[in-house]
Amino acid sequence: MTYVMVDIEADGPIPGDYSMVSFGAVIVEPGLERSFYGQLQPISERWIPEALAVAGHSREETLAFDAPEEVMARFAAWLDDECDKRKLFISDNNGFDWQFINWYFHHFLGDNPFGFSSQNLGSLYKGLVRDTFQTFKRLRRTKHTHHPVDDAKGNAEALLHMKTELGLKIALG
């Protein structure tokens, strides 16, 4: 099983009505050397300037990004090349990140290589330390920049710390 830490940036709150602007993925393993980055053209005329500003892009920039079906096909191929047969999606906020990745895979490719489920890093940490008021974010080493590869890497660092320093029983590469 391969854990894939994912982070997305979007120009609004939901897929379909709004667009995923970019996403990053990192294979969770020591060294964190295998990553993917995609930038996607908008799929909708709707966008929220404040949401897009978080991603650090203008609307004009996003219009020049790659076609979503091409980016998702490249991501699927990368997952096939880099992962064991079973791929496990995990993110800081899987309620947000998962909805976009899942929708885009199904909409543009007809299938999601991750299957039908995802895991939430924050919930995993809260269970590990047995305290719902705690956050894992102090365990990141890479600065949270809203560049999705940086953010996925920082979250992967936190998961590796949970395993090596806090005793989380998890099979990682």
- pLDDT tens by residue, the chain, 173 residues: 999 999 999 999 999 999 999 999 999 999 999 999 999 999 999 999 999 999 999 999 999 999 999 999 999 999 999 998 899 999 999 999 999 999 999 999 999 999 999 999 999 999 999 999 999 999 999 999 999 999 999 999 999 999 999 999 998 86
* 81, part of any domain: yes
pLDDT of 173? 64
In a domain, 51, yes or no: yes
Establish if 170 belongs to a structural domain.
no
CA distance 9 to 15: 11
- Does 150 map to a domain? yes
Domain span holding position 128: 2-164
Domain-located, residue 74 = yes
172 in a structural domain: no
The whole-number pLDDT of residue 84 equals 84
Q: Exposure pattern of 67-80 as b/e (b: 16+ CB <10 Å)?
A: ebeebbeebbebbe
Instruction: Output the pLDDT for position 99.
Output: 98
The residue annotated as part of the active site, out of 57, 106, 107, 146, is: 146
- The enclosing H or E element of 148 equals helix 148-164
Helix intervals (H) in 5-147: 49-55, 59-63, 68-82, 94-109, 121-129
Which helix (H) or strand (E) element contains residue 2? strand 2-10
Total number of domains constituting the chain: 1
Query: In Å, how far are 122, 134, 135 from 130, measured between CA atoms?
Result: 12, 9, 11
What CATH number does residue 54 fall under? Answer: 3.30.420.10
Q: What is the pLDDT of residue 172?
A: 86
Cβ contacts of 156 within 8 Å, gap of 6 or more = 5, 26, 28, 32
User: In the 8-state DSSP scheme, what is residue 138?
Assistant: G
Q: Could you tell me if residue 102 is inside a domain?
A: yes
Q: Residue 171: inside a domain, yes or no?
A: no
Q: What's the pTM value of the predicted model, to 2 decimals?
A: 0.96
Is 146 an annotated catalytic residue?
A: yes
* 8: Cα separation from own chain's centroid: 5
